[in-house]
């Protein structure tokens, strides 16, 4: 009798364990079925973001080509020094340029610079290079949210750098390969309206005589519609960095602001 009871209990334990195992397997399979549409949706969303960005940047490149060939660009480059808290401290320099194409060559004339007899400022980011780099160097993800800028409904697309990028040839490469942010694109016109980005990784380069380190870069690029062309309006770059030449180290915390306007030749 005891052996029969023991055998019965053992069988019941086996049956219960079998049922529990079947239940777990069933739940696992159900979870895969439920998750499958979400994975497909995410993949579709990435493809959609890439399509939107590709269309927008193809338009931006065409508009830039028209600008270079047919327009005069008036550019003001203002550099402001900031204190440790990021507040305005002083004006480093301000320069005004006129840029146009003559005989298929780009000409940039210095109109004025203040204070006089100082080096002309360099752009913090080469926009032409950034424009070319966007489609090849970044991943994109379309947000479910929509943003409104100046009454225009926009796609909100996140971007971040890909892995295994090509070797960096200059400082613009170092910046572009390390920024992440958001692009805002007009839903109706496919015009890029704004790009916000920050360093996702610090920049640090060193050699025997020189070194460079940047731990902060906030970038905002805004665009304007000029006779149906989507053209740059303003670039603001706030950077905190230091560089060393031999035994001399210089620390900087600055805002570079570029204001751009256009006229026909």
Domain count, the chain: 1
Mean pLDDT, rounded, for 17-37: 43
212 DSSP β-pair partners: 205, 243
| C-alpha to C-alpha distance for 197 and 183, rounded to whole angstroms | 9
Give per-residue burial for 105-144: e unless 16+ CB within 10 Å, then b.
eeeeeeeebeeeeeeebeebbbbebbeebbeebbebbbee
| Residue 249 placed within a domain | yes
| Residue 23 placed within a domain | no
pLDDT at 195 over 90: yes
pLDDT band at 135 (very low <50, low <70, confident <90, very high): confident
| Residue 158 placed within a domain | yes
| Residue 145 placed within a domain | yes
pLDDT band at 169 (very low <50, low <70, confident <90, very high): confident
* Tokens describing residue 117: 């007899």
First to last CA, the chain: 109
| C-alpha to C-alpha distance for 265 and 101, rounded to whole angstroms | 10
Q: Report the candidate in 165, 168, 199, 164 with the shortest Cα–Cα distance to residue 181.
A: 199
pTM confidence score: 0.79
| Residue 10 placed within a domain | no
| Residue 37 placed within a domain | no
Query: Which of 22-26, 44-48, 193-197 is predicted least confidently?
Result: 22-26
| Residue 48 placed within a domain | no
Note down the domain range covering 158: 55-264
pLDDT band at 16 (very low <50, low <70, confident <90, very high): low
Mean pLDDT, rounded, for 119-146: 86
């Amino acid at each position: 009798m005891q052996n029969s009871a023991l055998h019965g209990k053992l069988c019941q334990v086996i049956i219960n364990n079998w049922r529990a195992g079947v239940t777990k397997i069933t739940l696992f399979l159900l979870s895969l079925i439920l998750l499958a549409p979400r994975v497909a949706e995410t993949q579709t969303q990435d493809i959609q973001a890439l399509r939107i960005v590709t269309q927008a940047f193809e338009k931006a490149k065409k508009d830039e080509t028209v600008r270079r060939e047919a327009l005069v660009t008036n550019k003001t480059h203002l550099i402001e020094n900031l204190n440790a808290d990021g507040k305005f401290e002083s004006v480093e320099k301000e320069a005004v340029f006129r840029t146009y194409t003559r005989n298929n060559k780009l000409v940039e004339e210095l109109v004025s610079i203040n204070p006089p007899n100082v080096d002309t400022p360099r752009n913090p980011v080469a926009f032409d290079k950034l424009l070319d780099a966007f489609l090849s160097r970044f991943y994109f993800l379309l947000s479910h949210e929509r943003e409104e800028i100046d009454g225009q409904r926009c796609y909100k697309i996140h971007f971040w750098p890909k892995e295994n990028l090509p070797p960096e040839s200059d400082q613009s490469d170092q910046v572009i390969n390390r920024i992440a942010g958001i692009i805002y694109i007009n839903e109706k016109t496919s015009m890029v309206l704004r790009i916000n980005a920050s360093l996702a990784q610090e920049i640090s380069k060193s050699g025997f005589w020189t070194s460079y380190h940047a731990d902060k870069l906030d970038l905002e690029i805004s665009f304007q519609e000029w006779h149906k062309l989507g053209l740059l309006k303003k670039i603001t770059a706030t950077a905190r960095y230091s560089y060393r030449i031999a035994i001399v180290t210089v620390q900087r915390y600055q805002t570079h602001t570029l204001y751009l306007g256009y006229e026909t030749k």
